[in-house]
Amino acid sequence: MLVAAVLMVLFLSQTQIDTESYRIFEVSNVLLPMFVCIMSAEILRFSNMFSKRRYMRKLEHLSDEADRDPLTGIWNRKYFENALNNMFWDDSVNREREFIVSIDIDYFSAIVDKYGRETGNNVLKKFAEIIGHAFRSTDIVARWEGERFIAVLNDTDDKGAGIALEHFRSKLDAEEGFTVSVTTAVVSCAVAETADECISKLFKKMELRGNQ
């Protein structure tokens, strides 16, 4: 670009230019616009590429936020239901080895009445932190509503589901300064059942546990 500018000045000042220099000047007049166009196109391409990446990251962030419970930060009911329905549609999943667990915090309303809503929220957040680390990374743990949490245990059996619940209870009992009791229920999902039927079966079992 600097060479082209110098040649332009010489041309305008009517400085004597030999034939070879003149040819260089002519070539520069052709190549310079081409170079500018190519560079502009590359800059635009990279700008669009980075903008698209930022847009995709923003969409992923917004999608993740929509799937998270705003109070506890773990998966919400909508995400859990969608994930479970996808599993039931997937023929590669052996649903005879799929279990759903419901975990309710006992006497949560009494905790809120006695200590206030803020304390109740802190209990939920702490409980979500514990339950979120108590199960395997391949399991899906979510807050269903209120003080009820739910999990789907993949690729396991009756013994494995029992061990998973025992592991959760040991994690809960080992947490210093945090003492809550819970009611749990677990059901296996038969091949012939839909996700809604399996969840309904789970909550019926949970109601029976609560009435005992």
Say whether both 183 and 164 belong to one domain.
yes
- Show which of 22, 41, 66 is a domain's final residue: 66
Tell me whether residue 200 is in a domain: yes
Same domain, 140 and 181: yes
Q: Give me the count of residues in the chain.
A: 212
Question: Are 60 and 158 members of one domain?
Answer: no
Q: How many domains does the chain have?
A: 2
Range of the domain at 55: 2-66
Question: Is 109 in the same domain as 45?
Answer: no
Check residue 191 and give its pLDDT. 74
In a domain, 6, yes or no: yes
71 falls within a domain: no
Residue 72 domain-assigned (yes or no): no
Secondary structure of 113-169 in the HEC alphabet?
A: HHHCHHHHHHHHHHHHHHHHHHCCCCCEEEEEECCEEEEEECCCCHHHHHHHHHHHH
Residue 148 lies in a domain: yes
**Share above pLDDT 70 across residues of the chain, in percent, rounded to a whole number:** 68
pLDDT, tens digit (0-9, with 9 covering 90-100), for 82-127: 998 888 766 555 555 679 999 999 999 999 999 999 999 999 999 9
> Domain holding 144: CATH number?
3.30.70.270
Based on the domain organization, do 61 and 127 belong to the same domain?
no
Query: Do 142 and 184 sit in the same domain of this protein?
Result: yes
pLDDT digits (tens, 9 = 90+) for 34-81: 767 777 776 767 666 654 555 445 434 445 679 999 999 999 999 999
Tokens 């809120």 correspond to 112
Query: 11 and 115 share a domain?
Result: no
Name the pLDDT band for 130 (thresholds 50, 70, 90).
Answer: very high
On whether both 122 and 186 belong to a single domain, the answer is yes
Position 26 scores a pLDDT of: 57
- Structure confidence at residue 184 (pLDDT): 93
Q: pLDDT tier at 170 (50, 70, 90 boundaries)?
A: very high
Examine the pLDDT at 23 and tell me if it is beyond 60. Answer: no
Domain identity same for 91 and 195: yes
Structure tokens at 185: 């229920």
Place of tokens 């998270």: 68
Answering whether pTM is above 0.95, one says: no
Q: How large is the average pLDDT for residues 179-202?
A: 89
**Statement to judge: residues 113 and 202 lie in one domain:** yes
